[in-house]
Structure 1
Amino acid sequence: MNIEEIGISELRLPEESNEGPLALIALHDRSGNRGVGCIAATPLRVKEMLRGLSAVIETLDVSRLGSWLSPLSAAVGRRSELAVMLPGLDLALCDLHARQRGTALGVLLGGSADASWPAFARLPLSQVALRESRLERLWSHGFRAFLLECDTRLDIDEIARLRARLGAETRLAIDARGCAEDDLASTCAALAELGVDWLEPPLVANDLARHVEFSRRSSVAIAAPSGMAGWVNYLALSERSVPGLYRPNLLGGCGPSALLGIGCRAMAGGNRLVPVALPSWLGLAAQLHFSAALGAVKAIECAAAVGVERRGLDWRATLPGLDASGRVSLPTGPGLGRDPGGNGETSRVWHRLALAV
């Protein structure tokens, strides 16, 4: 079934998010199904760009998974201003394809309907009052895994105290991008003793050589920088069989189809992934479905947990349901398993673009 209409709205994120303007797009077919995706631009700008691609979009065959990638890429060509559209369109088309079949996207892509992962939430290590306020709410919600943000120095003693307090069963990882690189080499062994799952060091995003060097001499798993430009760098790391963990941005430079390619290479090299996504229901749903398809995902970072201590009475509604061990499961229902209507994260204003189908 071809696409009949495209809806465009603003995607609203928490105030603490550093993301720029974002638009939610909804692709409607003639049977009432719709698939959603996200594009890093204002809704009006997205509408303008979609007009430039409408002649191609209206001819896409949604019935064949992935068949849209070649015509869309050809239409974008060297028009770099349109390249920002591809990850969001890819996700929306995948969602629509699965909804037309009444199947969860992750299952349609070969994943298990029973898949689940440890759900990590971020905590600021050195900002004690903020950390404790956030930890209290997140712990009560069921989180049992935390990504500790170190802003200036890697405080091993504070991490050890937190480990002793939360217990050996609690999962910990470290984001040390704000620290000096010299401080990290001597502390990796201590982090390994504390049972830290992985460390994201302050390396330049595209400096593959430094990442390879640091990974091979570290006693704790090293995460490739999540700010890497494009997914080709992740593939390069996989081809070198660099031990560690990759954090591609699912709704950024790495679209869903690219992420599947990264996952295959990562599994071949014995590595794992923790995909990064927007702090929203859409980002989380995309993480879960493509993690199920990949099978090489170590954990899920729940970005929506950022700023939870300053939200109102509905703060729990922004977080996923977790089981007794703090794991998050694949959403039920067709496609991504959630609908944007009524969740408070989208504007009530929808721009419409009708297609000549």
Structure 2
Amino acid sequence: MTDSFTIRSIEAFCYRYPLATPVVTSFGKMLNRPAVFVRAVDEDGVEGWGEAWSNFPAPGAEHRARLVNEVLAPGLVGRKFDGPGQAFEALTKGTEVLALQCGEPGPFAQAISGIDLALWDLSARRQRLPLWRLLGGQSRKIKVYASGINPGGAAQTAEAALKRGHRALKLKVGFGAETDLANLATLRQIIGAGMLATDANQGWSVTQAMEMLPRLAEFDLRWLEEPIRADRPREEWRRLRAAAKMPIAAGENISSVEGFKEVLAEDVLGVVQPDIAKWGGLSVCAPLARDILKVGKTFCPHYLGGGLGLLASAHLLAGIGGDGWLEVDANDNPLRDLFCGPVLNVTEGMIELDQDPGLGVSPDLSSIERHRTI
């Protein structure tokens, strides 16, 4: 089979898993875990699976699923493409005015990303290659870290992650200096000399961030993620970089080629974190990841969602290489665990991807039918 394919169908499925313990960020709580899975089928009957970012606001998942099913899929069915990148381009250009008109470039980008991931999986299956190898990977082993560690119960979450094989942790901060610093001290003790990072989720002003920097310095952090809002002037980011003893990380809220070009051209971010399910899919983010490594920065795919997007992110990291880590949410989520394949099997802080074609999983959606909303 060649890389060309004709699309027979594209369909999104929306799910919600209620959380016993809400996930807390500096900007709000998540009471459930949504997932929008996308299935693409070509005229030869080959399937591919992807996922569209849909974490918040709460009704966002159903909206993105309907964008896929009612707006985007009809424009692709019956069309022949020479690869996922061509379909991505057709979708993006074909909906630019519509996204602008309704003020929703984000949801459109996320829905398109879900389709793009499904088409990359489909393409790799057609070529009988694991996705990581199609992307140029030499090794199927990658490092992972446990993220989503809330301010409440941080020690228990961290210890449970270590028992599951993790050797690297990321703590959510932005809940007051006393809480943040106490949690960091506890986690540093738990992880020993291992990798420890923090994520402020855009929670501080530049003044607050500057006040925290010297207090964070004692914890030997691998990075400080999004200390201030992603849309703050570059001068504020440069001020933080000049004062920081640890690398600064960001990227999940950059959603343009120009935006990434800007941060790759300057010495502010040491760690760059595009999210393939949120913007760009693999068609844009795979070349971007190579550019991140070329300029000497660390590529760490951002991810927080269901299992298919997590698995695709793992394949991207293995495909591109470098010494970055894959983000794996430490919180309970069967929509992740049932569909992320080998990402569930963490040994000494590493996972090993399969040699099967594509993502290497064929999801059994009947197992989560009770959580389906669309």
Distance 1:251-1:323 versus aligned 2 partners, 3 A rule: closer
Structure 2 stretches lacking a partner, 5+ long: 24-29, 55-60, 103-107
Alpha-carbon distance between aligned partners in 1 of 2:114 and 2:337, rounded to the nearest angstrom: 27
CA contact (8 A) 2:205 2:228 kept: no
Q: Which amino acid aligns with 1:60?
A: K
Name the structure 2 match of 1:286: 312
Q: Measure how far apart 1:205 and its partner are.
A: 1.0
Q: 2:45 aligns with which of 7, 17, 32?
A: 32
Q: Secondary structure at the match of 1:301?
A: strand
Query: Is residue 2:339 matched to residue 1:339?
Result: no
The CA deviation string for residues 110-148 of structure 1, in whole angstroms up to 9 with x for no partner, is 0124331132233224x2xx2233234322211221111
Q: Secondary structure of 2:248's partner?
A: coil
Cα deviation, residue 292, structure 1: 1.8
Who is 2:10 aligned against?
A: 6
Q: Give the distance between the partners of 1:266 and 1:14, measured in 2 at CA.
A: 36
User: What code does the residue aligned with 2:236 have?
Assistant: R
Equivalent of 1:171 in 189, 192, 195 = 195
The residue type equivalent to 1:142 in the other structure is G
Distance 1:13 1:264, change over 3 A: farther
User: More deviation in 41-50 or 251-260?
Assistant: 41-50
Give 2:90's aligned residue. Answer: 71
The Cα offsets for residues 229-257 of structure 1, whole Å up to 9 and x where unpaired, read as: 44532221102243411122221123222
Name stretches of at least 5 consecutive residues in structure 1 with no aligned partner.
352-357
CA contact (8 A) 2:168 2:191 kept: no
8 Å contact from structure 2 (residues 6, 80) kept in 1? yes
Q: Could you give the per-residue CA deviations for residues 16-66 of structure 1, whole angstroms, max 9, x where no partner exists? A: 464896532211123332011223553444321135413xx422325x452
* Residue 172 (structure 1) shift: 0.6
Counterpart for residue 197 of structure 1: 222
Percent of aligned pairs with the same residue?
Answer: 24
More strand, by proportion: 2
Give the alignment of 1:323-338 within 5 angstroms: 323-338=346-361
Answer yes or no: is the 8 Å Cα contact 2:9–2:42 preserved in 1. Answer: yes
Flag the 1:192–1:226 CA change in 2: closer, same or farther, 3 A.
Answer: same
Aligned-residue offset at 1:219: 1.4
Contact map agreement 2:35 2:306 (CA 8 A) in 1: no
Instruction: Tell me the CA shift for residue 97 of structure 1.
Output: 0.2
Distance in 2 between the 1:141 and 1:348 partners? 26
Aligned length: 339
What's the TM-score, normalizing by structure 1? 0.82
Q: How far apart are the structure 2 equivalents of 1:317 and 1:24?
A: 13
Q: Residue 302 of structure 1 corresponds to which residue in structure 2?
A: 328
Contact conserved, 2:133 with 2:319, CA < 8 A, in 1? yes
Find the aligned partners of 1:206 and 1:109 in 2 and give their Cα distance: 31
CA distance in structure 1 between the aligned counterparts of 2:157 and 2:33, rounded to whole angstroms: 24
Instruction: Name the residue aligned to 1:272.
Output: 298
Q: Residues 27 and 92 of structure 1 are in contact (CA less than 8 Å); yes or no, is this contact kept in structure 2? A: yes
2:93 & 2:199 partners in 1: Cα distance?
Answer: 38
Shift of residue 105 of structure 1? 0.7
2:273 aligned with 1:250: no
